[in-house]
Amino acid sequence: MVPSYIKIHQSGILEQRIEKAISILENCRLCPRHCDVNRLEGETGVCEAGRQAVVSSYNPHFGEEDPLVGKGGSGTIFMTHCNLRCVFCQNYEISHLSQGVPVGVDDLAQMMLTLQRRGCHNINFVTPTHMVPQILEALPQAIEGGLNVPLVYNCGGYEEVDTLRLLQGIFDIYMPDFKFWDSKVAARFCSAPDYPEKVRAGVKEMHRQVGDLTLDAQGIAQSGLLIRHLVMPEDLANTREVMRFLANEVSKDTYVNVMSQYRPCGDANNFPELRRSITAEEFRAAVRIAQEEGIHRLDERRLVRLFQWL
């Protein structure tokens, strides 16, 4: 399978998308925050990102979902900063404390190529939303250097549909979180009361672009949508509504990772309802709910861990 971004590059459309994405930075509205700051001049908004890309780490990752990992791992590039900034973030040092190193176009392109040479099955941009222009800028050089594995857009789900449309034909795999269904919960933990409506619109747009997750003969993801849903204490994420939406308004064939690893991180201890990890019963109930609502493609490795846990 030839990744779609190669055809986009050859057609000249990629350069047009790059120009458009960079122009947005002048009054930044890449994400629903609509900070309207001039990032081209170094101004920063909620995400604290300026003109230059910042990367905290890049390496083959073997803890991602089964279809991404295979034998060679997923080639993760962790982008510093975040547009959502959940109070309980497990990557708090990266998202809130901005631990990372500024990189140029050449550096970012070489990171992609290095991960491909190391045998990774894909290039997985973690928290890319606020760095879309910088990622696109580096892509032509990576393509000319021989990049030919799928690109993964691994995001928090707080997306602007207009930005996602710039990525059509460039990212082969979308992997958003679907964190919250309730606007009051999203406001309390992410200062984003519009998160539920934005994630629903974003997931629909992603699915329109790439469809359901498709795998090759070895079970490695080639294209499509993969949803992450973190089970929260006291069902703060409202799992049933999320799964019902996915099954009824996106696709019952949506590949979903029901995630068990919530634990208090970052500023979580300042919120009484976030001060504990989830229980085995809460996780088991979330998996059961997903199945009851018609979601049948669940990340198998996580289910194995569930049965080991119980």
Residue 60, SS3? strand
The domain locations on the chain are 4-222
Quick one: pLDDT band at residue 302, thresholds 50, 70, 90?
low
How many angstroms separate the CA atoms of 105 and 139, rounded? Answer: 8
User: What is the SS3 string spanning 183-238?
Assistant: HHHHHHHHCCCCHHHHHHHHHHHHHHHHCECEECCCCCEEEEEEEEEECCHHHCCC
Residue 309, SS3? helix
Q: On the CB side of 227, how many CA atoms lie within 13 Å of its CA?
A: 34
Backbone angles phi, psi at 300, to 5 degrees: -65, -35
Q: For 3-32, what is each residue's pLDDT tens digit?
A: 999 999 999 999 999 999 999 999 999 999
Please check whether residue 302 is in contact with residue 257, taking contact to mean a CB–CB distance below 8 angstroms.
Answer: yes
Closest alpha carbon to 173 in 156, 154, 157: 154
Fold exhibited by the domain 4-222: TIM Barrel (3.20.20)
Q: Among 80-89, 160-169, 216-225, 294-303, which is the least confidently predicted range?
A: 294-303
Q: For 182-236, what is each residue's pLDDT tens digit?
A: 999 999 999 999 999 999 999 999 999 999 999 999 999 999 999 999 999 999 9
